Structure 1
Amino acid sequence: MTTTHRHAAPWTFRRFLAMFTAPRRRFIKVDILTGREAVARHLFGEACHWSTLDMLEYDNTPRLRGGWLAEADRRIAGGPKISTADADIAEWYGLTLTQWDGMSALAKVDKREGYAQARGLAS
């Protein structure tokens, strides 16, 4: 039995050199969001229920990002972060928003439960 070129390895000198001259894969550029941009993207994601198409539109539309960046700035720069339900409870107890924000978590739970019982919402 003789060996012919059909049994030889598929490597040729030309293929061997082409392996070293082939263009290399480049790393994908990864953008890291600033805190402000991350807040804006998260707010938009919550508003659209994390719809993939809406998120792609957000990522590719500077005007849309600008609007949500303004909303993020407003929320970041705002005073105490209090939900409207907690604001209603604080008002019912005669507390200011700053006083409510300064309370411990356990005290807030007690106030919420007392409010719910007084309003007939607790079971």
Structure 2
Amino acid sequence: MTWRLLLDEHCSKAIAASLRQLGHDVGVAVADPELGGASDPGLFRWAAEAGRRIVTESTKDFRPLLLRATTSGAPAAPFLLVPPRRFPRGRGDRTAAIAAALQAWLAHPDADRRPVEDWLV
């Protein structure tokens, strides 16, 4: 399976551009006119309907949405968490580090069997 990603507002557009050059389908929430300024529940619903995995730092926002969706039977968007301690803001290489980690995650042989809540390392 090839994952289609949607980068949340915490991720740079440069990450998407870098991954697109490698052939990955990556959208950017804040750059999409339909999604710019969308609430987290709205973004979650859109990603679920579009079949995209959300890449975000917001564990506290997306975990309850995933739990509600899976317990109610509603469409759920899996997500990939970018830990701020592992990828701190303000570091000059943060964008490149996240892009490289995402590329490794996408290239992993069991990417299609990853949990609906996964962590980028």
**TM-score, with structure 2 as normaliser:** 0.24
Q: Rg: which structure is higher? A: 1
Structure number with higher relative contact order (C-alpha < 8 Å, ≥ 6 residues apart):
2
Which has a greater percent of helix?
1
